[in-house]
Structure 1
Amino acid sequence: MSSTSTNGIGYCFSDRAQGIANYPHCRRANGLIFVSGISSRRLDNTYVGVTERADGGFDLDIREQTRAVLDNIAVILARVGASLDNVIDVQVFLVDMKDYPGMNEVYNEYFDSESGPSRTTVAVHQLPNPAKLLVEIKVIALDPSPEPAVYAPAALTAPAAASCPVASCASVVACAGLTSLVVVGAAALAGMFWHRR
């Protein structure tokens, strides 16, 4: 399910673990896809990488949890037409830095240092289920096929023949058919120009 608002398009998937608060699994905006923090929690609220012991405690496996998190992120990205290859930034939250080597071992199976994303890893006091969660990851990905956004602001009056006065795709803005159009507080525009945002 998706919903469009002034901050882009939010996507919530009924077959993925649901957020405890009100937020989407990911949001598409301005040529980017922002994936919310993802854990190893399943739809039925059980967790990958968690084994309950006879004494009621839990054995936690950082490698299994990391793999489940990255696989969950891959599924979410695929639902919106992207993949892990499009990821440009990763934030990893670990409950304990002793799990850093195990997390890295699995992480390095998914990304390499040359084409992989930038990454920050921090230790946090705890995650939403402190008895079961060792890791949470959030990512930002490039939208591989962003749809151009078309703007016709009130301050810009397009000539009658122009149906698309201003179009934006990723980081390029194109203004066309703006012959002698005056922008409030700015110089006159003529013809067509490209401006890098």
Structure 2
Amino acid sequence: MDLDFHIKPEIRVLGIDDSALLNEKVMIVGTVFRGGDWMDGVLRSEITRDGLDATEVISTMIKNSRHYAQLRIVMLDGVTYGGFNVVDIEELYRETGLPVIVVMRAYPDFEKIRAALRHFSDGELRWEIIKKAGKIEKLVTEKNGTPIYIQKAGIGLKSAEKIVRLTSIRSNIPEPLRVAHLIATGIIFGESRGRA
């Protein structure tokens, strides 16, 4: 069920991104923000490169956090982490009780994704999880007119759009995701790089 609800300016949002794929274990970083202005905390865990543990690891990381009771939204940078370790956003919503918003800079190239998944013995399972994430919506955050794309679980489109706009204060990417990316790449490479 998708819900629209009142959104406070300092809504607690957890943005999660992964680090570079340098090892079998891939670090994921979560940043806890009040709206888009104030970072309250950082979470860290590890998932298996090209594994199927991202949903469980992220759920556990969230539920074991001291920030859990205050969190209202989880934001993901796409649905694939650590290569093709796919996050089941419906399952993540069910397990944590927190609505999930997926943010993508570009519309996914599903033909390339399908082709890559043919190299996995469980590629069909991964494809089903990707499809289950639902409809992809285009959104312009008004920062530079460049659209981003979102998917959602447990939240209505109007509320999801409002939260993405509220937290996108420096670019068209929400601050919790932008900062999670900076931290993850900075830890792995010694200096942040790339775009969230």
TM-score, normalising length: structure 1: 0.26
Bigger relative CO (Cα 8 Å, ≥ 6 apart): 2
Structure with bigger strand share is 1
TM-score using structure 2 length: 0.26
Instruction: Flag the structure with higher helix content.
Output: 2
